[in-house]
A = this chain, B = another copy of it.
């Protein structure tokens, strides 16, 4: 099967890392297509970045339809555009935050997220709450490092995750750690060994769940919330997002 992994930011080095993680997790017979959108921010660290990454994500979903993709993974821990993506295609679309939360729920009773800048803490609180995990999340721990800081200085990133991970286990009653950024896959294994609890990278979780859903032949429900977008005109810079096909009523 073909799974398209979309890194919603436009930093190709990071996309390469995500691609590597996805391919490691994927089955031999699964083809991984990892991309960044043509437009959008080089990293996502605010509502501003997140919303402005969505048009690019949607374009990649639409292209995926033509590319014969079987499922999509949105590889940013804010799951930007997830619900819109489910409107644009009937192929399964999973977010890595969502996948991390459900996977962790099957492995541990309580868990903490370790992520980037403090400003996104509230964003993530509301995100995990929307996945029904507010009682299971022990804490959302932020660091002074931004998304690309982890790319630039992996050693410092590893040390930061180690520190916060240890505090999560010791202070939060966390029994698993969720890595709250798509660029942290490389740290998961060594952290897991050090901390002695499951350390979950969302990219690989998303790929496996996508494979599972495709194996089961399941598609997104098109009954109501995730129907195709209504047929309508778009204006200005985004006019090519206009919908010609009618929504299935």
Complex Cα spacing A146 to B125, Å: 33
A103: chain B residues at CB < 8 Å are: 212-213, 216, 218
Asked if A121 is an interface residue, CB under 8 A from chain B, the answer is yes
A55 touches B52 (CB 8 A): yes
Asked if A84 is an interface residue, CB under 8 A from chain B, the answer is yes
> How would residues 151 to 167 of chain A score, 1 for a CB under 8 Å from any chain B CB and 0 otherwise?
00000000000000000
A224 touches B109 (CB 8 A): yes
Residue ranges of A at the interface with B (Cβ–Cβ < 8 Å): 10, 25, 27, 37-43, 45-52, 54-56, 58, 81, 83-84, 86-88, 92, 94, 98, 102-103, 105-110, 117-119, 121-123, 125-126, 129-136, 146, 169, 173, 175-176, 196-198, 200, 204-205, 208-209, 211-213, 215-216, 218-221, 223-227, 229-230, 232-239, 241-243, 247
6 A-B pairs with least C-beta separation: A132-B132, A39-B236, A208-B212, A109-B225, A108-B221, A48-B229
Q: List 26 A-B contacts (CB under 8 A).
A: A10-B236, A27-B27, A27-B215, A37-B236, A39-B238, A41-B233, A41-B241, A42-B234, A43-B232, A46-B230, A47-B86, A51-B51, A51-B81, A52-B84, A55-B238, A83-B123, A102-B102, A102-B106, A107-B213, A132-B134, A132-B135, A169-B223, A175-B226, A197-B223, A198-B221, A200-B218
